[in-house]
Structure 1
């Protein structure tokens, strides 16, 4: 009673939240593939209840409620949730995304896809601007670009994205993992207090 609860129906992917009785935007379903940490299909649900992140409960073995996320954890490769912004519609609405990942076969055809770094840079720019962050793009003759942000640079190399995620720690993602990289960038920008823009330069 009075608790903020989220019920995720794995069959219909309907999201209910008392925090958002009149939702500021309709729930969104996002699906994409990634290759890191392993070939996986990511299924994500967005809603505007940003302050209500899911967590596992301490429900007992015989309890009839509180086992939803435990079931998700048992039947998926990974799951999680984080604040982010909406992707569908005319405005980027702050909210959160809750996701799970399913393993893809090792012979998944996407592992062999090749993406031109200029195309990857342009798509990254479009993805980020649609989430409410302005930017421009410029790519050198060698096809290498860098996404420049306050406190963060994302390099677009011929085979991968690369950015610094902490002291002496860098993350690399293949260009085919465009959507996964976009989510990392959007979460970073959204976590900053001041407004920022994204720029791709040579």
Structure 2
């Protein structure tokens, strides 16, 4: 579920914006991240790290906004922000672009090196970072691409750590998220109140406090219901991979 205010992240929501597809994009991303983190009462030094990291990831997205691997027109970058509690309480900031096959990497260059220092800087000022194939969120038509994301530690008194999500509400919003990303499914409810989402190549059980599914034949995943957005991204990746293999 997308929310208009930063405090919606406490209840499992997501803030998502389309960024300008020109040189003003990184500045817009910095402004949005600063405003969101300030509303959530992050310490000033963590906010500054977030601004620095999103400036670099937005610059990277702008560089790859035109998809070299297809005839699609340039796709404007998007900025997504949500919170997760697993593997640790973190704010996740993701910048989406439409160039799925262009994988970024930190070069290991020194910070004073003018070439390849951007993502190395992201690595140094954040708790974690990475790049993930996914689909766009902001447009009504989902577009394949990737995100470059980074994680920052949440404040110690983050209220979402104690927030309880109703399983039926969680199941509804998870299915809605996936449908908007191009994956149709059905929801059923057992006699004891357990919800099951039947999706292509995977079923997701929604228990009292967790989402559960088999990501592979030998790997069973569990995520707290409050981690709705993180669960959505994991399932989009799973479903997208299965879809590509079937083509």
Q: Same fold (TM over 0.5)?
A: yes
Which residue is 2:91 aligned to? Answer: 41
Q: Residues 195 and 121 (structure 1 numbering): CA distance in 2 closer, same or farther, change over 3 Å?
A: farther
How far is 1:169 from its partner? 2.5
Which residue is 1:128 aligned to? Answer: 178
Which ranges of structure 2 fall in alignment gaps of 5 or more residues?
1-24, 27-51
How far is 1:168 from its partner? 3.3
Which residue is 2:10 aligned to? Answer: none
Q: Residues 58 and 38 (structure 1 numbering): CA distance in 2 closer, same or farther, change over 3 Å?
A: closer
Instruction: Provide the C-alpha distance between the structure 2 equivalents of 1:52 and 1:31, rounded to a whole number of angstroms.
Output: 22
Q: Are 2:66 and 1:20 equivalent residues in the alignment?
A: yes
Equivalent of residue 163 in structure 2, options 113, 126, 129: 113
Q: Aligned runs of 1:74-89 on 2, under 5 Å?
A: 74-89=124-139
CA deviations 1:72-121 (Å, max 9, x no partner) are: 11111110111110011120101111100000123210111111111100
Structure 1 or 2: more helix by fraction? 2
**33-42 or 145-154, which deviates more:** 145-154
Kindly report the root-mean-square deviation, in angstroms, between the aligned alpha carbons of the 2 structures: 2.4
Which residue is 2:192 aligned to? Answer: 142
How far is 1:23 from its partner? 4.7
Number of matched pairs: 189
Q: Is the 8 A contact 1:23 1:48 kept in 2?
A: no
How far is 1:60 from its partner? 5.3
Which residue is 1:189 aligned to? Answer: 239
TM, length-normalised to structure 2: 0.69
Equivalent of residue 154 in structure 1, options 204, 210, 216: 204
Structure 1 or 2: more strand by fraction? 1
CA deviations 1:117-157 (Å, max 9, x no partner) are: 11100000000000011222222343211223344222110
How far is 1:181 from its partner? 0.3
